[in-house]
Amino acid sequence: MYIIIVGGGKIGYFLARQLLEDQHEVLIVEQAADKAAQIAEDLGEIVMVGDGCEASTMERAGMARADMAIALTGDDADNLVVCQVAKHKFSVPFTIAMINNPKNERIFKMLGINATISSTSVILAHIEQELPSHPLIPLLTLKGGGLEIVELKIPPESQVVGKPIKQVLLPQKSLITLIIGADGQVRLPTSDTVIQVGDEVVAVTMLDSEESLRSALIGAPSVRAF
Amino acid sequence: MRVIIMGCGRRGAALATMLDGEGHDVTVIDVDAAAFSFLPDSFAGTEIVGSGTDEDSLRRAGIEQADAFVSTTRGDNRNVMAAQMAKHIFNVARVITLVHDPIREEMYRSLGFRTVSPTRIIAESLREAILADDGGEATGAAAEAQTGSEG
């Protein structure tokens, strides 16, 4: 495959090295001449100095025959445009963009970038896996009464799994008002409604009963809450 | 009309001043608070410090209620990214973006964007000025060229 990498930072460098080892044809487009020279010294003449967002640079790089374009600069707008120009102007079949601001994942996907990589999201996902805590998500605080509406997802280890609501000992002035199933189905609970794993329970509670509600629905207090 | 202008350089500020003077509801967004000094004291619109390519900043600027969005910074990529967010995430009815690079301009125009190319407008004005046989002094074209280079 012919793969063009825009951005000769550390990720671009190591990626190119690996791809070369795997017998791919690789070209790195890097704006800074000194960085480009350093890569060329290590990896050979696989670097081109230029602005990878410019269509003229892409043309010189042979973007039209590239199988894949990978944008790895530190600027999301640049990465987006590299992929869009590669795709729309040079008909590159597969484009990959690095995303610096995880919030941009949605717009990149909407605009047809084939794959996005967000290191922030990857790290966050690992943290969430490593530190299972089941916090109550406060949805709304009702003015005046000291009440709030909270949401909580039922984990597999919860002692209320499989039990009808009437058997769950809720703190005073707490009420389960809505259950959203793992399948997205919304249920209006009665006292006979059975709680299942993955249910998202929406409840009204007193501000100071939050913790007792949490332990009523989940059990032992979370060891390592954030 | 409720208009959001991204970029408060000379161009963005001039546009904001014009629209504000005509009674439109104008919000200007720029990463640099100092840029707002381009606006006259009489400017009645809203100034927001933030990035036009950041969803939260756009929301703060009121993009969900905007009738039009214009990106006017010097950076083509920032301009087209913000324009695409305005159109596809926030469904703004009128989205207009400056694109300096003629090739990128053509591409984004073909993707359905209302683009304005300062490069092309200035080149055409200069060409007209050169070919005009009145031997005239600095006309609109030269003045425009200057604004363009600094905006």
Look up the CATH number of the domain holding residue B47.
3.40.50.720
Chain A interface, mutation test: which of B71, B84, B90, B113, most A Cβ atoms within 10 Å? B84
Q: Are residues B42 and B91 in the same domain?
A: yes
The predicted pLDDT at position B78 comes to 96
Task: Choose the closest CB to B77 out of A81, A89, A111.
Answer: A81
**Domain A2-127 falls under CATH 3.40.50.720:** yes
- Least Cα distance to A81 among B21, B4, B22, B82 occurs for B82
Q: Are residues B7 and B65 in the same domain?
A: yes
A-B contacts (CB, under 8 Å): 56
Q: Are residues B132 and B105 in the same domain?
A: no
B102 contacts chain A (CB < 8 A): no
Q: Tell me the two tokens of residue B85.
A: 């967010």
pLDDT tens, N- to C-terminus, chain A (226 residues): 999 999 999 999 999 999 999 999 999 999 999 999 999 999 999 999 999 888 889 999 999 999 999 999 999 999 999 999 999 999 999 999 999 988 898 899 888 898 888 877 777 766 765 655 556 666 776 655 678 888 888 888 888 999 999 888 888 888 899 999 888 888 899 989 999 988 989 998 888 888 888 888 887 544 443 3
Q: Domain residues for B126?
A: 118-151
Q: Are residues B134 and B66 in the same domain?
A: no
Q: State the total domains in chain B.
A: 2
Cα(B48)–Cα(A158) distance, integer angstroms: 46
Domain(s) of CATH 3.30.70.1450: residues in chain A: 137-218
Q: In terms of CA atoms, which chain B residue is nearest residue A56?
A: B103
Q: Are residues B138 and B72 in the same domain?
A: no
The beta strands (E) that lie in A100-183 are given as: 115-117, 137-142, 147-153, 175-180
Domain(s) of CATH 3.40.50.720: residues in chain A: 2-127
Give the C-alpha distances (Å, rounded to integers) separating B35 from A8, A77, A178. Answer: 32, 21, 49
Q: Are residues B112 and B122 in the same domain?
A: no
Q: Do B107 and A103 touch (CB under 8 A)?
A: no
Residues in chain B: 151
Q: Are residues B48 and B90 in the same domain?
A: yes
CB atoms within 10 A of CB A202: 20
Give the C-alpha distances (Å, rounded to integers) separating B131 from A34, A101, A108, B145. Answer: 44, 49, 45, 16
Q: Are residues B71 and B145 in the same domain?
A: no
ipTM: 0.80
Q: Do A88 and B81 touch (CB under 8 A)?
A: no
Q: Are residues B52 and B101 in the same domain?
A: yes
Q: Are residues B102 and B132 in the same domain?
A: no
What is the model's pTM? 0.68
Residue A221, SS3 per DSSP: coil
From chain A, pick out residues whose CB is under 8 angstroms from the CB of B84.
80, 107, 111
Chain B interface, mutation test: which of A31, A76, A84, most B Cβ atoms within 10 Å? A84
Interface of A with B in 13-72 (CB under 8 A): 53-56
The predicted pLDDT at position B50 comes to 96
| pLDDT range class, residue B147, cuts 50, 70, 90 | very low
Q: Do A77 and B101 touch (CB under 8 A)?
A: no
The predicted pLDDT at position A214 comes to 85
Q: Are residues B106 and B79 in the same domain?
A: yes
Instruction: Say if CB A90 and CB A66 are below 8 A apart.
Output: yes
Q: Do A53 and B77 touch (CB under 8 A)?
A: yes
| Mean pLDDT on B91-118 | 94
CATH of domain A137-218: 3.30.70.1450
Q: Are residues B72 and B137 in the same domain?
A: no
